[in-house]
Structure 1
Amino acid sequence: MRDISPAGRHRHRGAPLRGRVAVVTGAARGIGRALARNLSDAGMLVALLGREEASLRAAAATLPNRSICFEVDVTDNAALQAAARHVEENLGPAAVVAANAGIAVGGPFDRTAADLWQRVIDVNLTGSANTARAFLPQLTRTRGYFLQVASTAALGSAPMMSAYCASKAGVESFAQALRGEVEPDGVAVGIAYVHWTGTDMISGIDHHPVLRALRRHQPRFARRVHTPEQVAAWLADGIAHRSPYVYAPPWLRWCQPLRPMFPAIVARVARRELRTRARSTLAADVEVLGAGGLADWHAYRSP
């Protein structure tokens, strides 16, 4: 019988990560890969899930503790269920699950192919729900922690990034709803707000008119691009403390009370930037951002 008393919960929150099992989606590169390394350094057994098998294997080979990798499309619920069984059979039940897999497309909504726009929603939002569905039985048994990686895109939606912003607002709302449902079972849910991070997703930021303008109009400290390793360290600290909210960087916590102002600020900056560009040139700006997103898109479209 599980100990669900306050004392039992306190002991669980204080339990070390060492020897427990963590699952990280989108672990082939960027924040996911760095987080897998950070959790392994903390003594966890890590399962790396993602789209690029060779990259997953290369990442797993560098970890100091036992790990496995599983090539899986997070939009495929049956495949994720199989991955969850594989994790439990080979490492044990998951105590930490980080729903980190995500892709982005930049460009005008009406110039973005419907299937490409939908793919961003499917990977980022539905993929997170699929991940939770597959691993919640294990997290319930371990009284574990589910971390949903969101973004500051959930705070203020940027034009030319409609699918990404909608998906990140969606995962924030999903995680908040899920938290209330699973808390009685001893499962904690955290939401991570990630700002500018030096992954391949933003490698072309200087060519993206709205993102370039938004960053230029931010205070100097807010323009800083953090390394995936630094962001992963903040996320790992939040995991260790079973934090309901994780801010990467930490100063983002002070933005929460200001959220009602962000949509108007973003709209003003974007409107000024887009007025300088001919409508006919915007179609050329439609692109999948980053090598990870391109790998997913090519895999999705291949027979």
Structure 2
Amino acid sequence: MTDRKHVLSGRTAVVTGAARGLGQAVAHELADRGVRVALLGLEEEALARTAHHLPTASHHWHVDVTDDEAMARVAEDIARRLGPVSVVVANAGVAEGGPFTDSDPDSWRRVIEVNLVGSAVTARTFLPQLLRTRGHYLQIASLASIGAAPMMSAYCASKAGVESLAHSLRAELAPRGVGVGIAYLNWIDTDMIRDADQHAVLRELRAHMPPPARRTYPAQYVARRVVTAVERRSHSVYVPGWLRCVQAVRAALPGPVARLTRRELIRSQFTGTGLLGAGGRAAESAGRSRA
């Protein structure tokens, strides 16, 4: 156990939203450390390509994380094919931007469904296996969990919600041997963020953030930090590390954010982005098919 590279070797992990971006990078990082990985998501071809290139026995499942019954079936199949789950990384997420008053209700609701409800469904589905293995659940959160930003109300609300969910689960599950961690992350070089930069509202939002908060981090770098936190069963991981300082002053943030918004952003006319990136388009399509 002193060599963390082998702590997870031979175990089974679930990664949601694993078709691309951070989820894909986390799946590769886990597999490089000897983990069998179950990749869950909505983009079947991308999931299959990712699973094919992993060095360990891994499989993929096309599933909507908001669908309780489908997730239950997937959980049974994972246990049968790969063994009981020891690690769950609740990564699936989508985002949109724009003024709340002009937002599309369906897109706004879908962000909440995927990010918050989907995380709850993921936890509920796999907790029976995590209880048996005394495993670890890692919730992917965000700087948006700590300080809400204008023009991203659905995303900020959903990420604040998953933070609270993870805190509640940690208190409930610690006596039963299951670890719960939260990953507080900032901008990551994914197609979702690259798509965000094509929209004036989100370009403007980033432009008014402090310079360190504008930096984008490679997905593989973030994935290494995230998987190391899983190995350590850490309560939290911050990427970049200075986000921990923001946590300490979060109560003071709403006032400055409101003043900045009033001075800089409200003067401009912005339109909504819709769900961002290929993952967002897949989530939108899945949401329509379930409606």
TM-score tier (shorter): over 0.9
Structure 2 residue corresponding to 1:232, chosen from 197, 202, 223? 223
Structure 1 runs (4+) greater than 6 angstroms displaced: none
Aligned residue runs from structure 1 range 126-205, under 5 A:
126-205=117-196
Structure 2 residue corresponding to 1:32, chosen from 10, 15, 23? 23
Could you report, residue by residue, the CA deviation over 1:213-271 in whole angstroms, capped at 9, with x for unpaired residues? 44334443332100111111110110110000011122222221111122223223322
1:288 aligns with 2:287: no
Could you report, residue by residue, the CA deviation over 1:96-139 in whole angstroms, capped at 9, with x for unpaired residues? 00000001111221222222211111110010000000000100
Corresponding residue of 1:3: none
Matches of 1:256 and 1:275 in 2, distance apart? 26
Matches of 1:151 and 1:238 in 2, distance apart? 15
Question: Aligned AA for 1:297?
Answer: E
Question: Aligned AA for 1:289?
Answer: L
Structure 2 residue corresponding to 1:297, chosen from 275, 284, 288? 284
The answer to whether the Cα contact below 8 Å between 1:158 and 1:270 also exists between their aligned partners in 2 is no
Question: Quick one: structure 1 residues 273 and 219, their matched pair in 2 at CA, closer, same or farther if it must change by over 3 Å?
Answer: closer
Matches of 1:206 and 1:44 in 2, distance apart? 34
Could you report, residue by residue, the CA deviation over 1:13-41 in whole angstroms, capped at 9, with x for unpaired residues? 99810000110000000000000000000
Matches of 2:285 and 2:261 in 1, distance apart? 30
Question: Aligned AA for 1:60?
Answer: A
Could you report, residue by residue, the CA deviation over 1:143-188 in whole angstroms, capped at 9, with x for unpaired residues? 0000000000111111211111000000000000011111111000
The answer to whether the Cα contact below 8 Å between 1:95 and 1:144 also exists between their aligned partners in 2 is yes
Question: Aligned AA for 1:294?
Answer: R
Matches of 2:196 and 2:121 in 1, distance apart? 30
Corresponding residue of 1:112: 103
**Sequence identity percentage:** 54
Corresponding residue of 1:87: 78
The answer to whether the Cα contact below 8 Å between 2:6 and 2:34 also exists between their aligned partners in 1 is no
SS of 1:63's partner is coil
The answer to whether the Cα contact below 8 Å between 2:68 and 2:121 also exists between their aligned partners in 1 is yes
The answer to whether the Cα contact below 8 Å between 1:50 and 1:70 also exists between their aligned partners in 2 is yes
Question: Aligned AA for 1:140?
Answer: L
Structure 1 residue corresponding to 2:115, chosen from 124, 136, 139? 124
Q: How many residues align?
A: 289
In structure 2, stretches of 5+ residues that fail to align are none
In terms of mean alpha carbon deviation, does 38-47 or 249-258 score higher?
A: 249-258
Cα shift at 1:289:
1.2
Question: Quick one: structure 1 residues 243 and 124, their matched pair in 2 at CA, closer, same or farther if it must change by over 3 Å?
Answer: same
Matches of 1:220 and 1:116 in 2, distance apart? 30
1:265 aligns with 2:252: no
The answer to whether the Cα contact below 8 Å between 1:213 and 1:269 also exists between their aligned partners in 2 is no
Could you report, residue by residue, the CA deviation over 1:74-105 in whole angstroms, capped at 9, with x for unpaired residues? 01001111111011000011100000000111
1:246 aligns with 2:246: no
